[in-house]
Structure 1
Amino acid sequence: MESLFTLRDFYGKLSLPIPENIGKDIGHFNVFNISEYRARLSKGEMRYDRRSYYKISLIHGKNRAEYADKTIDIADKALLFASPKIPYHYVPQDEEQSGYFCVFTESFLSKDKSGIILEKLPLFQPGGFPILNISDDEYEEVEQLFKKIERELSSDYAFKFDLIRAYVTELLHLGQKLHPIQSQENNKNASIRITDLFVELLERQFPINTPSQGILLKTANDFSERLAVHANHLNKVLKETTGNTTTAIIHSRIFEEAKILLNNTDWGISEIAFSLGFEEVAHFSNFFKKHAQLSPLKFRSALKV
């Protein structure tokens, strides 16, 4: 299982103070100049991890990007769209690197604030192609948007975050327009369809934004009933397509979310346990310790050292 790179890790890597709004319901947003960002890193390289936040990058320079199971060469100018679902990184192939990137949580750009459901966008779907080579004109258009975002973020305008959401939404729509049309297999087999539906149902429950949110689908039977297939058949399909059982996939995702909540929120252990579908705190503690070899409290304490 790949490790999880959180916003706290991100700011720690840059030796920057951790903003107070990380893990809060209002969401988090920030924008960076790539030249300045690279200057704070020893080698200018990013770990190949799944992040706990969304990221849009405007890249100018020769790079090699690894995204899920794909390797893409960036010859000059590109847009990169990254989500918490898929691990990625890119490695600079020369010293001339510039551009911008912004990081934000889903709660910053939630549907009630922007009208967009991020997890539904093709740009952020597993199997998609979120690294787009762009022309000089397209680069200039996107660069102007990032400059507007950078300017607004440092302004005193009372509604600056509403305006920034509009700019980020424009970036997303631009990416959607540039997104290459992927060929669809008309004869896509039933196993793949079931797997896709299972993953969609599982991911739809995350991220957990409030302690009262909770997840509704927690067991293999919960998912099989929703998908109208027998639990044994669902398990067989997932073993064929992913190599893991239904329960293992569910538990892995719940464990990843537990680490995010322990790291990025100040919620009590009981609140986190309830939000992840555990009726007893002891059951959650045993579950977490089985996966992390640490209790939730010790895991959280270790992060603060």
Structure 2
Amino acid sequence: MIENTSLDNFYQRATADLPDGLEKEIGHFNVFEAEKLYDRKTGNRIMPYSRRDYYKISLILGRSRAEYADKVIEIEDSALLFATPRIPYHWVPEDDQKGLFCIFTTDFLSKNNAGVVLDELPIFKPGALPVFRLTPEAVTELEYIFRKMLREIAGDYAYKYDLLRNLLLEVIHYGQKLQPMSVLTTPQNAADRISSLFTELLERQFPLESQHQRLELRTAKDYADRLAVHVNHLNKVLKTKTGRTTTDIISDRVIQEAKILLKRTDWPVYDIGYTLGFDDLAHFSNFFKKHTKITAQSFRS
């Protein structure tokens, strides 16, 4: 399982500091030079592309490879990558890779740009291939924007975060005008990646820590859509890899979480069912009894 990278974890690990004045702003934004970022404990380069609770845009300079479900995207020289917390990626950079990247949350853009809904933009939608090949001219233009971000975030201009929002939107719109890179499928590894990323998506939804949370992905089709594969293909892969259906795997994990919530919280049974994706108590009760042979209330007692 890939370790989750929250903003707190990122700053605890990385040789990076929170930008000045950010605590006065809504949301979060920061920009980095990739080759200057290291792990505080190990001294190794940090390439935080895996699981995250923030968005990331990277100007990649050098050979790399992005793996997404059953697709492999080879980067020979330079590219622009858009990463969203909704879709897991595996990233394999070369040791000498250079570049710049910025990280941000949805709240950062929402302050002065209420009309911007990141997950509705084509480059952040599930099923998209958010890696774009760059010409030398595009590299020059984008590097100028990223380095301007670096200068502005280090400055003391009173409205610098408004300016940074505009620069961030400029990069987003620049990417939306580019053409996706060609994809090289590798069947011998595709099943392993699909299985691994399905598990990652499933586990990413837990634990449920509030009665206001709710599972976003509940059905096999939900997961297939997020991974941009056909639901029949996902079922076939998981059946081959685990001997179980997609629905069985999801149901077992939901039951596991239901048991934890029933034993460790005082939430009403209805609220537990709701957070797990059930719209009414009867549906959740029948589901729980079907899989455990006892009622949810009996299990709690």
Q: Is the 8 A contact 2:59 2:101 kept in 1?
A: yes
Change (3 A) 1:20 1:129: same
Query: Which residue of structure 1 lines up, in the alignment, with residue 50 of structure 2?
Result: 49
Change (3 A) 1:144 1:277: farther
Alpha-carbon deviation of 1:37?
1.7
1:161-240 residue pairs with structure 2 within 5 A? 161-180=161-180, 214=212
Secondary structure at 1:27 match in 2: coil
Alpha-carbon deviation of 1:138?
0.4
Q: Is the 8 A contact 1:62 1:76 kept in 2?
A: yes
Identity across the alignment (%): 42
Alpha-carbon deviation of 1:28?
0.7
1:60-209 residue pairs with structure 2 within 5 A? 60-95=61-96, 97-110=97-110, 113=113, 115-180=115-180
Alpha-carbon deviation of 1:123?
1.1
Query: Which residue of structure 2 lines up, in the alignment, with residue 245 of structure 1?
Result: 247
Change (3 A) 1:72 1:153: same
Q: Is the 8 A contact 2:50 2:91 kept in 1?
A: no
Alpha-carbon deviation of 1:63?
1.4
Q: Which amino acid aligns with 1:73?
A: E
Q: Is the 8 A contact 1:68 1:86 kept in 2?
A: no
For structure 1, which segment, 33-42 or 71-80, has the greater mean C-alpha deviation from structure 2 after superposition?
33-42
Alpha-carbon deviation of 1:65?
2.1
Secondary structure at 1:44 match in 2: coil
CA distance in 2, matches of 1:118, 1:220: 22
What per-residue deviation string (whole Å, max 9, x for no partner) do you get for residues 200-255 of structure 1? xxxxxx9xxxx99x46888979xxxxxxxxxxxxx99x978985339948x87xx8
Alpha-carbon deviation of 1:34?
1.5
Change (3 A) 1:63 1:33: same
Q: Is the 8 A contact 1:25 1:107 kept in 2?
A: no
Query: Which residue of structure 2 lines up, in the alignment, with residue 285 of structure 1?
Result: none
Change (3 A) 1:5 1:218: closer
CA distance in 2, matches of 1:49, 1:126: 16
What per-residue deviation string (whole Å, max 9, x for no partner) do you get for residues 255-284 of structure 1? 8xxxxxxxxxxxxx99xxx9x966xxxxxx
Change (3 A) 1:23 1:128: farther
Q: Is the 8 A contact 2:15 2:39 kept in 1?
A: no
Alpha-carbon deviation of 1:48?
6.6
CA distance in 1, matches of 2:250, 2:180: 33
Q: Which amino acid aligns with 2:78?
A: K
Alpha-carbon deviation of 1:134?
0.5
CA distance in 2, matches of 1:53, 1:172: 15
Q: Report the TM-score when normalising by structure 2.
A: 0.58
Change (3 A) 1:241 1:128: farther
What per-residue deviation string (whole Å, max 9, x for no partner) do you get for residues 130-159 of structure 1? 111110000111111111111111121111
Q: Is the 8 A contact 1:29 1:108 kept in 2?
A: yes
Q: Is the 8 A contact 1:82 1:124 kept in 2?
A: yes
Change (3 A) 1:85 1:64: same
**Aligned residues: CA RMSD:** 4.6
Change (3 A) 1:117 1:219: closer
Q: Which amino acid aligns with 2:180?
A: P
Of structures 1 and 2, the larger Rg is shown by 2
Tell me how many residue pairs correspond in the alignment. 223
Alpha-carbon deviation of 1:93?
2.5
1:4-43 residue pairs with structure 2 within 5 A? 4-17=4-17, 26-37=26-37, 42-43=43-44
Alpha-carbon deviation of 1:85?
1.1
Alpha-carbon deviation of 1:47?
6.3
Secondary structure at 1:113 match in 2: coil
CA distance in 2, matches of 1:47, 1:147: 20
CA distance in 2, matches of 1:67, 1:216: 25
CA distance in 2, matches of 1:151, 1:19: 12
Alpha-carbon deviation of 1:26?
1.3
Query: Which residue of structure 2 lines up, in the alignment, with residue 59 of structure 1?
Result: 60
For structure 1, which segment, 75-84 or 153-162, has the greater mean C-alpha deviation from structure 2 after superposition?
153-162
Query: Which residue of structure 1 lines up, in the alignment, with residue 288 of structure 2?
Result: none
CA distance in 2, matches of 1:91, 1:9: 21
